[in-house]
Amino acid sequence: MSDTKAKIFLDVNRTVSEISPLIFGGFAEHMGRCIYEGIYEPASPHADEDGLRTDVMAALRELNFSIIRYPGGNFLSGYNWLDGVGPKENRPRRRDLAWRSIETNQFGTNEFMKFAKKIDTQPMLGVNLGTGSIADASALVEYVNGTPGTYFSDLRVSHGYREPYGVKYWCLGNEMDGPWQIGHLDMDEYARKAREAAKMMRWQDPSIKLILCGSSNTQMPTYPEWDRVALETCYNLVDYQSLHYYSMNETDDTPSYLAQSYQFEDNLNTLEGTLRYVKAKLRSKHDVFLSWDEWNVWFKNREMDGNWTEAPHLIEEVYNLEDALVVAQWMNVFLRKSNVLKIACLAQIVNVIAPILTTTDSLVKQTIFYPFMYFSRYARGNALDVFTQAPMTETKQYGGVPSLDVSASHDPATGQGAVFIVNRSLTESIPVDVVWQTGKPSAVEAVYQICGTDVKAANTFENPNQIVPQKIDGVQMDGDTQTLNVPPLSFTVISYKG
């Protein structure tokens, strides 16, 4: 192989795991303009009969979210869910201490359920383990999933929602390891509270799946000890352990930033080891998987003070080309680690560190919109254990790294496949041979590419199409091989027919 050429080898028998559809999730928090002015804005010309933004919902449908986590985030830890149900005129206006904002409670659990149904996604609800009690958590499960005939399920019926919702996924608090969290707990306290909440919630509805709070990020002094302690106390009662992380390029070191897939993979490997350790220590037959239920790029906009206003503009990060390439790598890692990662939620879905920004009458799709859209559209069936040979790129933080970051999927039921390629080199265009060693699909269906020469180029309301995907023609099956060129700073998706 010449040292400027790359080869990607695919074998449909060499798989990592089945891809969990829940890795294409999102996160909606009562923060800034995510809910109010994002999802819900009765005054917008785009509002439907429920006050939900039809233009936003159309864009979210393109992203094909399989699950959305709600209502927070740090907001969750001070939230009384009873404030957000029942007649809207009776709902209290409250101070939200997490974001120093005013919460009107005009949007709550039932409104969220309606929204989730309209965009055809599955809800993932959080219970407040900060100021909330284990009894509040249990009551919420009864309110949401209980059959009519008892107090909280009848309360739901009296609010106009007779049928139990059957919500399956429930988070046991949010980032409880963080001193910034309302009602922050130390690891033993959290572990015990989560265990007791889990018991009550399961007694309410044995069919639910529970997500335990893991470390907020890898920089926490308690990482990964927190994860071990929480798991050892709750292992057999829970189904997933959460992790959160936000990527940054604070020193403007683009080559290192574009190699952050190493960090994401390392984080998952450490926690995979922790899960295995605890399972072995407890001699358990049960499996717990990982839920990366907050992930994204976030470092440019740190405005987190709502100054006691409604729907303030908080952390409305503007994303550029390099951010989109990091998001694409993140999703490559999700596929490569699909044996242990079963849920992931892009944080957040509208306005607040989000793929979509809105004004009252318009929206813009940010650069990160597109990689997410292609993964959620094409990554189906099994993640393949890809073998890649590629030229190297130098980085300050990680040393030499391969210029290409790659993942691939193949659906044995349909024969459909997809390959996702990030070229992280700032300068080198790379000729690539994609070689199907077994299970060659019948034809290339389409090739899409996002690229540019300016890593800082972003889509704005004034210029919304700076970074949009291009369709690339002429890539064909030549025997088992397809040859194409991936430009520097690019993300390429090849989708195949079965």
Would you name the residues annotated as active-site residues? Answer: 175, 294
Q: Write the binding mask 290 to 309 for ligand AHR: x where contact by CB under 6 A, - elsewhere.
A: ----x---------------
Among 44, 104, 145, 174, binds ligand AHR (CB under 6 A): 174
Residue from 41, 111, 142, 175 touching ligand AHR (CB under 6 A): that is: 175
Contact of 26 with 12, CB cutoff 8 Å: no
Query: Phi, psi at residue 221, to the nearest 5°?
Result: -60, -25
Which residues fall within 8 angstroms of residue 389, CB to CB, at 6 or more apart?
Answer: 1, 6, 7
According to the binding rule CB under 6 A, does residue 29 interact with ligand AHR? yes
Which residue's Cβ lies closest to ligand AHR? 73
Complex with ligand AHR: residue 85 or 176, whichever CB lies closer: 176
**Cβ pair 409, 379 in contact under 8 A:** yes
212 counts as binding ligand AHR under rule CB under 6 A = no
Q: Report if residue 355 touches ligand AHR, rule: CB under 6 A.
A: no
Helix (H) or strand (E) holding 485: strand 481-486
CB contact at 8 A, 453 and 477? no
Tell me which residues in 440-479 interact with ligand AHR (CB under 6 A): none
CB of 294 to ligand AHR, least distance (A): 6
Q: Tell me whether the omega of the peptide bond preceding residue 224 falls within 30 degrees of 0, making it cis.
A: yes
* Contact string 311-350 vs ligand AHR (x = CB under 6 A): ------------------------------------xx--
Total site size for ligand AHR, rule CB under 6 A:
10
Minimal distance, residue 399 CB to ligand AHR, in Å: 30
Among 25, 32, 51, 73, binds ligand AHR (CB under 6 A): 73
Residue 129 as a binder of ligand AHR (CB under 6 A): the answer is no
Nearer to ligand AHR (CB atom), residue 19 or residue 171:
171
Check whether the bond before 204 is cis (ω within 30° of 0): no
> Is residue 72 a contact point for ligand AHR (CB under 6 A)?
yes
- Which pair of structure tokens corresponds to residue 254? 């683009």
The answer to whether the bond into 73 is cis (omega within 30° of 0) is yes
Q: Distance (Å, rounded) from C-alpha 31 to C-alpha 99?
A: 7
Return the ∠ at Cα 319 (arms to 313 and 320), rounded to 5°.
150
d(CA 275, CA 292): 14
Token match 């306290």: residue? Answer: 189
Q: Is 128 in the site for ligand AHR (CB under 6 A)?
A: no
Give the span between the Cα atoms of 21 and 379, in whole angstroms.
9
Nearest distance in Å: CB 453, ligand AHR = 31
Residue span 4-23 as binding mask against ligand AHR, x where in contact by CB under 6 A, dash where not: --------------------
Cα Rg of the chain, angstroms: 23
Q: What Å distances lie between residue 186 and 100, 179, 437, CA to CA?
A: 24, 9, 51
Name residue, tokens 């309302």: 182
By the rule CB under 6 A, 214 interacts with ligand AHR: no
38 interacts with ligand AHR by CB under 6 A: no
Please identify, among the stretches 4-12, 71-79, 83-91, 251-259, the one whose residues bind ligand AHR according to the rule CB under 6 A: 71-79
**Which residues are near ligand AHR by CB under 6 A?**
29, 31, 72-74, 174-175, 294, 347-348
